[in-house]
Each structure stands twice: as structure tokens, then as C-alpha cells.
Amino acid sequence: MTALGGPAAGDARPSGGGATQPADEQLVDDIGRIAGSVREVVGAVAAIVSRVVDDEWLEVMAVSGDPSAGIVEGLRWQRDDLDSLLGGAETRGRLHATKHRTVSYVEVPTNTPETERYIAHHQGLLLAPLYAPAGDLVGVLSTEGPVDLAHPPPGACELVELYADQARLVLTALRHQDVLTERLRMSYAAQAVLHGAAAADGVPSLLDSVAARLGEMMRARGAWACAELEPGVLREAASYPAELADRLGAEVCTLLEPMIARCLEDGTTQTHESDRLLGRLAAVAGYEQALLAALGDGVASRGALLVFRAADDDPWSEADREAFFMLGRRLGTLTAQAKGRRRDQVAAEELLRLDAYRRDLVASITHDLKTPLTAIALNTELLESDGRLAEAGSHPVTAIRRSADRLANLVDDLLAMARAEEGVDPVTEVDLVTMLRDACGHAETEAQLRGVVFDLHAPEELRATVDQNALARVFANLVANAVKFSLPRGRVVLHLSRTDDGVEFRCTDEGVGIPPERLASLFDIPRRPPDSRSEDFPGSGIGLAICQRIVTRMGGRISADSTQGQGSTFTVILPADPAEVHAVQR
């Protein structure tokens, strides 16, 4: 069970007190003017307009004159008192008159118990109940003071009824406005719940975020949420406020399964009135009212949302239940996405672990191969120095030496690949022109054998801060490849210059070229294009993959352009700012 501490996110306003949300000032002023006009028409001590708050309470909205017991706006009185007054009243049309009746008015500030009670002993009341066209009561217009309905002033009753009609229209407009205001508030609150859930990095944190905001949205004293981490397995729950976690655990989600199924099947919510189990859970949690919504659609995700109110709080309205149901559906989508992100994260971590294992395995195997290869090379040199083998013909020894060299080169390439994937060495400032000339020097022997010449275009000096050893391998690989794949008596053109992007190196050969379909995967698949002419060229075939990883680690990029049968051009661009290289290393 996960619990969140701190103050309640959004306590409910008890139905027994506290002023309603501010309504439109113009409409409220209209109510006040109506009350004043009615008081003058009948010559009353005071006139009062009350509005219906819920099934139990009426709230004083406007007072004109000097009523008994200091009745003011915001006080509430029970609808049962209205029914009692109407039951013993003298009636004329829509007006009702009573004498010497007592009405209790209460003041209940928001979120606190009842603090004061006002007992008004009215010497007479004139009552005009205000009904909406659908027949439901929206308010009451009343005057205080003796009223003789049998012999009223001429036209007084008719005027009072006209003013009652105006009051009814205003109260109906206020009711509609309050409904729209409440829906807008719930819409913003739901957006906050969904936004917090969308930012969560997993199901547990998503539920924590939802529970913390759910109370405010639903005007609830407590909120609880649960979900499956995986279909049919471990449950996770979160609650708000903190003490609720000690009463409702994640196992409660299993008890709610039948109700969750009904919510999904009927497309609605469940309350403590529709299911006794919810009433018992509310009691366990320390409340009286409970509202349940399914989290998700039962397929991609499954869970429950549960909110609580006290006995004196307003009951759940249809708008509350509808908004709660829709929130559960949307949160189900976000929960499924959070599960997917978590699965992706686990898969990515596993891939990284396997990749690290692969690199360690390659490095370990290649290091182990180094020792026997060195021994083979040394013993081959001893055999080549034996004059008797020279007289008998040294072809077998030469073949052994050549194979050992190829294996040694392969091991060197594998070690370079592992090193390139691990990172770059500390950078130093070097002359790139000198490094490029050294690369040409290493390939000079092969170039002379094939009749290939170098055409170098570079300044006298070009200094840059780079990983010297790694970049030297890139230069050596690209130059050696250019010579290897050039046709006899070909030319290798090398360009080295500084550009706006940094440093650019281009290596162009006049060789066999690369098929177009292989260019896209040239640096990803470490093998030479299956060209008939390239099969005769020795090498490990992973040189370009090594170059690509080194250049990427250094913050640069490498690309290839080729025409089959005419040659290829490889371009390397490195950042000029050493800070960029350091940033890549970190």
C-alpha cells in the first residue's frame, strides 16, 4: 500500500453550511432588488429570497429590511421547515401566509462543524415557492410580518406573483450558471489529474499522483486508487490522505472486482447505496459515502478509483458520477502507456546489459587470442631464420606467417571495435596534416605494389584538439581501404581542410565502387560489399564500422558516396570546438 502524506487534497464542503460559490454579481443584485420591491408592495418588515442548495437545505441569498434574529445572507434553513410552513398556511393562488411560526437558521462555515443556530420567531410569513418549468423547487420568496390574504391591498398579490416569477427566472439562471461553473471546475481538475498521470514514470508513481489530485476534483475527503502492474498479477495502490493507507490495502482491489466488472459492463459508477460492500469499505475508511469507478476498459488496463465523503457532505450528483467514470477510462489509457514505457525501459536496460556483456566478451576473447598469435609469429620468425628450411623451400612457413598476420590484424580490429564502443581517450591538440601523412606512409608499400599514387590537398599545418589515437586509426583505415580497392595504377585523392562546421577530411579512390543498395548499411554491417573484384582483397571487413563508431564518439559524422566501377568517396567531419568533443566524452 502506498500512502501520501500532508493535508487533504480537497475536503468536501458539508451540505449543512458554508456559502455557495460566488454567482454572477448582476444576477445577485437583481435578487436584492426583487426582495426590496416585494417588501414595499406588501409593507412587510423584511423580504427574504432563498435558493435551493440540495435536497435538504435552502440558503438565504438576499435580505431587504430588518428581519428577526439578524437573518443575513449565507444562513441556511431546512427544506423540512418549508414543507411544515406550507402545510399549515393560508393559500391564495401561489402565495401562502402563516402566523407565529418558528424557523431555525444555521451558520456552518466551510469544512467545520455547525457553530451557531438562529431561532427566528416570525410574527407572520408570506411565502411564494419558486418552481422551475420542470417542476423542481429552485427557491422561496418570503416576507416577514402579518399579511392578510383575505383582504390584501389592491393588486398586491398579483405584483408579488410577478416578482416571484422574476425571482424564479433569476434563480434558474444562477442554477444553470452554477452547473456550468462546476463542470468547468471539474474539467480543469480532471486535466490536472491527467497531466500529473501522464508525467509519471511508472504505474506506482501514476497512482500516487492520481490519488493526490482526485480528492480536489471530486470534493472528496479521501481518495484511493489501484491498478494491476501486469494482467492478473501484482496489484499496486495509492491513497490520500496518508492515514487511509493503514485501512485500505492493495488487496482491496480484488474485493472490488465484481463491482469493477459491473462498472465496465454498464458504463457507469457504483455508490455505497448500490452496493453494501462499498458502504462497509467507506466505514472502514472512516467515512459514510463512497463512489467507485473502473480504471481502464478491462482489456489494456484494469483497476479502480474510489473516493469518500462524510455523512453530512453533499451526495454524489450525476455530473460527479459521469466525470468520475470518464476520468477512469482516460486514466486507464495512461496506465497502459505507463506499463508499456516500463516494459520498454526494462527491455532497453536488458539490451544495454547484453551489449556490455558482448563488448566484454569480445575484448576478453581477443586478448586471449593475442598470446598464442604472438607465439605463432615468433616461432614463424625462428623457422624463417633456419637456413635448412630455406634450402628446402619456405612456402609453408610463409603461408603460416601470412595467416598469423591476418589473424593478428583481425584481433587488433576487434579490440579497436570494443575500444571505440566504450568511449574516447583524453583529447590533445595535434597537427592533422602530419597524422594524415603518417597514414599514407603506412599504406605506401601496398600503394607502390599496386602502382597507386597519393594526391594530397592540405595546408602546411592544421591543428585541432582530438583523440589522437582514435583519429589516427580512422585515417589509416580509410587510406588503406582506398589503396586496397583501387584499380592498378589508380589514384587516391585526399582533401583535408577547415570549414564552418569544423574539420573536413575526404578520401576518394578510383576503385571498384560500392553497389547503391549497400550504401545505407555500409557502416552498420561490418563486411565488404559482395563485389567479385573485392573478394580477392584481404582484411577483417570491420574497418568501416570501427571508423563510424570512433567518429560518432568524437561528435562528428562520416558518410560515403560511390559509383560502382568508378570509385568511392568517404567524408569525415569533426567539430572544431574542443568543448564539443569533451561534451561527447562526458
pLDDT in tens, 414-470: 666 666 666 556 788 999 999 999 999 999 989 999 999 999 999 999 999 888 888
CB contact burial 501-527 (16+ within 10 A = b; e otherwise): ebbbbbbbbbbbbbeeebeeebbeebe
Q: Which helix or strand (DSSP H or E) is residue 149 part of? A: none
Q: How confident is the model over 264-295, as pLDDT tens digits?
A: 888 899 999 988 999 999 999 999 999 999 98
Question: Taking Cα atoms as reference points, which of 39, 66, 63 lies closest to residue 51?
Answer: 63
- Grid coordinates given for 123: 410574527
Distance CA 11, CA 241 (A): 10
Interval 473-526: pLDDT, tens: 899 999 999 999 999 999 999 999 998 878 999 999 998 888 888 888 888 755
Domains contained in the chain, CATH given: 25-179 (3.30.450.40), 182-343 (3.30.450.270), 424-585 (3.30.565.10)
As a whole number of angstroms, the distance between CA 106 and CA 507 comes to 92
How far is 142 from 145, CA to CA, in rounded Å?
A: 10
Q: Quick one: pLDDT at residue 367? A: 64
Model pLDDT for residues 150-196, shown as the tens digit of each residue? 666 777 888 989 999 999 999 988 888 877 888 888 888 888 998 98
Share of the chain above pLDDT 90, in %: 27
- Per-residue pLDDT, 434: 95
Measure the CA angle with vertex 261, ends 269 and 341; round to 5°. Answer: 95
Q: How is residue 61 annotated by DSSP? A: E
- Using the predicted structure, report yes or no on whether residue 18 has a pLDDT greater than 50: no
Checking phi first, is residue 341 left (phi over 0); if not, alpha (psi -120 to 50) or beta? Answer: alpha
Q: 280 CB contacts (<8 Å, ≥6 apart)? A: none
pLDDT at position 399: 66
> Any idea which residue has 455557495 for its cell?
20
| Interior/surface letters 310-342, b for 16+ CB within 10 angstroms, e for the rest | bebbbebeeebbebbbebbbbbbbbbbbbbeeb
Pick the range with the lowest mean pLDDT from 81-90, 163-172, 379-388: 379-388
Q: Which residues contact 514 (CB under 8 A, 6 or more apart)?
A: 522, 529, 531, 560, 562, 564, 568
53-80, pLDDT tens digit by residue? Answer: 887 889 999 999 888 777 888 888 889 8
CB 39 within 8 A of CB 64: yes
